[in-house]
Amino acid sequence: DGGITQSPKYLFRKEGQNVTLSCEQNLNHDAMYWYRQDPGQGLRLIYYSQIVNDFQKGDIAEGYSVSREKKESFPLTVTSAQKNPTAFYLCASSMGTENNEQFFGPGTRLTVL
Amino acid sequence: QKEVEQNSGPLSVPEGAIASLNCTYSDRGSQSFFWYRQYSGKSPELIMFIYSNGDKEDGRFTAQLNKASQYVSLLIRDSQPSDSATYLCAVTYSGAGSYQLTFGKGTKLSVIP
């Protein structure tokens, strides 16, 4: 099956802890993205990566970090510096071309206790 | 500032009617336009994309694009209760050789049996 997987589905974090969200794709896509969605809000871009070992900040990168060591994987770390991390986190991938159809994973719902 | 505006709704239509969802965007240079459907608690699913002025039909869905007016719409014919969801409009913008999507906040559609 081709697709994008995210784990875990639900994640609970204590204040002051770092947590890492996993995103894997087997679509052979070059580009990968992380978004955050808050209730009643659209998707906001956190980080994106066009190629391995390269990534750029999106609109709301503060308090987050990423790595892209493999084409298939783009993990997101939510650090303790993120002031309001409770949200629905979505990973997406695309071919990275202008007609840029992005496909989403199932998401991780993070709750800070 | 790249902006995508959608009426938040809710938009209520009776079963079998046509649902019309609208979206305006601010970046006159945008070239690619996407509609995603998002069920409550789930990730967005791509349902339509359009790149050229005019209409594009796929089954019960028709996307309409007017670049001069910076307006894109989605028509859903013969609406079904299973179409009840939030519909997100997304627009591509480019910068530094990469392509990202800007999302609207979505329109919630409710199809009444």
Share of chain A above pLDDT 90, in %: 78
Q: Place B64 in a pLDDT band, splitting at 50, 70 and 90.
A: very high
Q: What is the pLDDT of residues A30-81, one digit of tens each?
A: 999 999 999 878 899 999 999 999 999 999 999 999 999 999 999 999 998 8
Nearest Cα neighbor of A87 from A7, A2, A11 is A11
Q: Place A99 in a pLDDT band, splitting at 50, 70 and 90.
A: confident
Give the gap in angstroms from C-alpha A14 to the nearest C-alpha of chain B: 23
Q: Which residues, at least 6 apart from A23, have a Cβ–Cβ distance to it below 8 Å?
A: A4, A5, A6, A32, A34, A73, A74, A75, A76, A91, A105
The closest CB to that of A102, out of B98, B101, B104, belongs to B101
Name the residue in chain A with its Cα closest to that of B32. Answer: A99
- Whether residues A102 and B4 touch (CB distance < 8 A) is answered with no
Strand partners, B65: B54, B72
3-state secondary structure B2-14: CCEEECCCCEEEE
- Whether residues B4 and A97 touch (CB distance < 8 A) is answered with no
Among the residue ranges A58-62, B25-29, B54-58, the one predicted with the least confidence is: B25-29
B27 to each of A56, B1, B4, B20, B69, how far by Cα in Å? Answer: 21, 8, 9, 23, 11
The closest CB to that of B46, out of A42, A103, A105, belongs to A103
Q: Place B28 in a pLDDT band, splitting at 50, 70 and 90.
A: confident
Specify the higher pLDDT residue, B62 or B32: B62
**pLDDT of the residue at A96:** 79
